[in-house]
Structure 1
Amino acid sequence: MNLSVREIVAAVNGVNHAIQHEDQCVESVEFDTRKVIENSLFVPLKGARDGHDFIPQAIESGAFLVLSERELSEGVSYIKVEDTLVALQKLAQYFLEKVHPKVIGITGSNGKTTTKDMTEAVLSQHYKTYKTQGNYNNHIGLPYTILSMPEDTEMLVLEMGMDHKGEIEVLSNISKPDIAAITLIGESHIEYLGSRAGIAEAKMEITAGLKEDGVLIIPNDEPLLKRMIIDIPQTVDTFGIGTEATLSASILSETKVDTQFETNLFEGEVFSIPVLGGYNVKNALIALLIGHFFNVPVSKMKNGLATFDLTKNRTEWLKTNDGIDILSDVYNANPTAMKLVLDTFSALKLEGRKFIVLGDMLELGELSNQMHESVAEHISPKKIDQVYLYGEQMESLYNLLHERMPQGSIHFYRKTEKKEMMTHLSEKMQPKDTVFLKASNGMGLSEVVEFLLKSHE
């Protein structure tokens, strides 16, 4: 990046206290002192600690310019602003206009990270493409992503996350997407949004900044969204499996390492994705719609999907040294997502026994017991050999299942009993067995995955 002091002052509407010449440029923008390098602009943000307290450390690490809400000592080069977070967002908007890539915004209760990864893989076959790194998808992460993209970026794929109403509207207005996509409406954050309808309304905020000639992509099987698109002026494309959508898929085959499908729009073409599950085919359909809109050749789109890299902890296959397969999906969970993966895992033809480890799904509010119980219909003793339920909220599911499952096949552990659960699970599993783990990130099932890998070395 090259942003001059003059540009930054104008973009953030700040007061210039910079020692450097106005034409001198910063090469990166950072809010974490651990990432500051020579010629960085440091933006101190207020969180658990006030980033202003780390300004000396940032300067020592190489930052030559700082945004600050405070008056700083003489000899420090800074731009005075009223609010450093707002200034960061304004600077991102300026840089976005300067680079002027096409912008794709992706949100949804589940699958947005995978869809982002697939979309980047499809577009990067034909364009210089940059995407949200990791989970930098909020009011800080999104502007940081924008400011981190190379100046020759042609396509910018932005993941948009939220906890509360109004948050995606902010992200959409910062980024002004050309295409906006909603993967699905689940139950994540229903504690704060009240209902699935409230979640759908919050996800539809992605249209707040959508360009007038832009495109909105939604699932064809979501009536909540269908009702909300009646009055929007932009084009609406739909996707689904076995449905009359703009882009519809038929699944040809599913294994634990790949899924093949064909579509109504690209007749005679068979697409392959290196992940399991029909729900991931839906994510791939979004990527294909976006690639098609930007005229990426079908052969390149096929290659992009077949070789895309999935962000860590998203439905990741691992294997212990003694031959136990682990399907780790421990980054987040809501009832819709948990049921989708359970159905796919249950249907897989595997050599050994099937184990599942399910932890609490958080932020479900007063509906928590009911929603945990709803998972019971997706766990069959004919398809699952051993069930491990972890966390206080999983007790309601345990109470439903323990009479349906054979004696000795279902186990319940409270949050304080993680070590006991890990030990018992590890001792129970044998080579050629497969275990699927899923829970909200706050339940820390990644620790269970690591324990299994180490204990079966």
Structure 2
Amino acid sequence: MDLAELHKIFLQHPNACTDTRKIEKNCIYFALKGPNFNGNKFAKDALNKEAAYAIIDEEQFHIIGKTILVADVLKTLQNLASYHRSQNRAKIISLTGSNGKTTTKELIYSVLSKKYKTIATEGNLNNHIGVPLTLLTIKEDTEIAIVEMGANHQKEIEFLSSIAQPDFGYITNFGKAHLEGFGGLKGIIKGKSELYDYLLSNKKHVFLNADDNIQEQKLSHYIKKFGFSETNKQYYPIKFLDANPLVSLEFENIIVRTQLIGSYNFTNCAIAILIGKYFNVSKTDIKAAIEGYEPKNNRSQLIKKNEHRIVLDAYNANPSSMKAALESFSKLDSENKILFLGDMFELGKTASDEHQAIASLALKMGFENTFLIGENFFNVATSFQKFKSFEDLKNYLKTIILKPSSILIKGSRGMALERIIENL
């Protein structure tokens, strides 16, 4: 069966599923494989749950009239998604970067949805499987699709770009994330810039933060760019006002008061404003969209509990985002401040040095009440209290009473530090 024929079947059953626990009636089940699972074995289960078809790549699971046998299910999913994208009129905006991708995506979606039929990556489905699944949610009436792209090694963004074929792109920043896979900061810049490489070689449009020297230099001679800046008058002016604790900013004499914690969220809001302006969304709708966005999923959330004011930013962490969170929290107007910092993952050989640098930075900034959690932080040289595991911290918290304070909770996803809140 060729790609065009398979696409005709997909249009009759436009719902792709890869998990038999989430099968919906008349969907198409893609029997993906992984190191510890074989989706082919669950094809019959998917069909019993009323999937229209199951796409498999092992003949022993073939059921005549119900399964479609292909050479490689994953490649078929990716090729079908790319073909589907080419058959639709939707404009694709791709996002990548070390920090802030998901928040930026959600803000752009909030703005563009005011005027256009818009879809966006759900959650963090931003890899070689998630990007194709996102593209397959494009409908005939979709006008704009915002596709988030994540990567932890070279050539990954290049590959995802070849699938999504974006018309526009934006890189949030170049920070110390996935240092192990990229081989250092230079590798990160090279890897993330693969989105630029695609856009420039195909003469597509680029959005940029012109106050980011790396972005501005890489795009200095490119014509099809649209950027924002606080200082450079050749770009669209957007001004940071405050972040105490919520970010406020100004464009075209309009003040926007967000529900986002941390000055690092300024650029996330600014690019959403810029893209809204590019697509002719009204100023009042842009303001309403940014102000109406509520952070969730442990990202830059402001929570009040037992007289504590908690900044919960525990969805993920790397040295760059940790540093930005500490700098922003240090400027918060509060007498009593407490830090709960958890291990940062995927740092490879640099893990020891990077954790030591963050502990030293927290001390230099004057944070006295600091709790470090995880095996990496447990091994740093510091006067701060250290806990090898979350359970050790949990047991300690049972023995003390914290006076009303502003609290920052920050760590990698695997640390699940949001659990601290219920133990305060």
Q: Report the TM-score, using the length of structure 2 for normalisation.
A: 0.91
Alpha-carbon distance in 2 for matches of 1:444, 1:382:
25
Q: Does 1:297 align with 2:282?
A: yes
Residue 418 (structure 2) aligned to one of 446, 449, 452:
446
SS at match of 2:299: coil
Residue 43 of structure 2 aligns with which residue?
A: 55
Q: Deviations over 1:282-331 (max 9, x none)?
A: 111111221111111111111111112434121122233x3323221112
Q: Deviations over 1:119-140 (max 9, x none)?
A: 0011011111111111100000
Q: How much does 1:37 deviate?
A: 1.5
Q: Deviations over 1:364-403 (max 9, x none)?
A: 2222222223224542587534100112222454x1x42x
Partner amino acid for 1:411?
Answer: Q
- Name segments (4+ residues, structure 1) moved above 6 Å: 21-24
Q: Does the 8 Å contact 1:172/1:208 carry over to 2?
A: no
Alpha-carbon distance in 2 for matches of 1:121, 1:363:
31
Structure 1, unaligned runs of 5 or more: 1-8, 403-409
Residue 258 of structure 2 aligns with which residue?
A: 273
Alpha-carbon distance in 2 for matches of 1:375, 1:247:
34
Q: Does 1:333 align with 2:317?
A: yes
Alpha-carbon distance in 1 for matches of 2:269, 2:243:
14
Q: Deviations over 1:205-236 (max 9, x none)?
A: 113543734222333344444454467x5623
Worse overlay, 66-75 or 164-173? 66-75
Alpha-carbon distance in 1 for matches of 2:236, 2:102:
20
Change (3 A) 1:336 1:92: same
Q: Does 1:11 align with 2:35?
A: no
Partner amino acid for 2:25?
Answer: E
Q: Does the 8 Å contact 1:328/1:437 carry over to 2?
A: yes
Q: Does the 8 Å contact 1:356/1:384 carry over to 2?
A: yes
Q: Does 1:255 align with 2:255?
A: no
Residue 19 of structure 2 aligns with which residue?
A: 32
Alpha-carbon distance in 1 for matches of 2:399, 2:337:
15
Residue 433 of structure 1 aligns with which residue?
A: 405
Structure 2, unaligned runs of 5 or more: none
Change (3 A) 1:49 1:76: farther
1:332-351 paired onto structure 2 within 5 Å? 332-350=316-334
Alpha-carbon distance in 1 for matches of 2:274, 2:264:
16
Change (3 A) 1:43 1:374: same
Partner amino acid for 1:34?
Answer: R
Q: Does the 8 Å contact 1:392/1:414 carry over to 2?
A: yes
Q: Does 1:183 align with 2:183?
A: no
Q: Does the 8 Å contact 2:228/2:237 carry over to 1?
A: yes
Residue 142 of structure 2 aligns with which residue?
A: 153
Q: Deviations over 1:405-427 (max 9, x none)?
A: xxxxx201113xx2221232354
Q: Does the 8 Å contact 1:239/1:282 carry over to 2?
A: no
Change (3 A) 1:54 1:396: same
Partner amino acid for 2:235?
Answer: T
Residue 270 (structure 2) aligned to one of 285, 288, 291:
285
Q: Does the 8 Å contact 2:115/2:281 carry over to 1?
A: yes
Worse overlay, 97-106 or 203-212? 203-212
Q: Does the 8 Å contact 2:209/2:271 carry over to 1?
A: no
The aligned length equals 421
Q: Does the 8 Å contact 1:240/1:282 carry over to 2?
A: no
Residue 87 of structure 2 aligns with which residue?
A: 98
Change (3 A) 1:207 1:11: farther
Change (3 A) 1:419 1:382: same
Q: Deviations over 1:22-41 (max 9, x none)?
A: 79821411011112111111
Q: Does the 8 Å contact 2:260/2:294 carry over to 1?
A: no
Alpha-carbon distance in 1 for matches of 2:249, 2:234:
15
Residue 140 of structure 1 aligns with which residue?
A: 129
1:67-82 paired onto structure 2 within 5 Å? 67-71=55-59, 72-82=61-71
Residue 411 (structure 1) aligned to one of 360, 385, 388:
385
Alpha-carbon distance in 2 for matches of 1:249, 1:377:
33
Q: Does 1:384 align with 2:360?
A: no
Alpha-carbon distance in 1 for matches of 2:224, 2:79:
28
Q: Report the TM-score, using the length of structure 1 for normalisation.
A: 0.85
SS at match of 1:389: strand
Alpha-carbon distance in 1 for matches of 2:316, 2:67:
40
Alpha-carbon distance in 1 for matches of 2:327, 2:298:
19
Change (3 A) 1:251 1:370: same
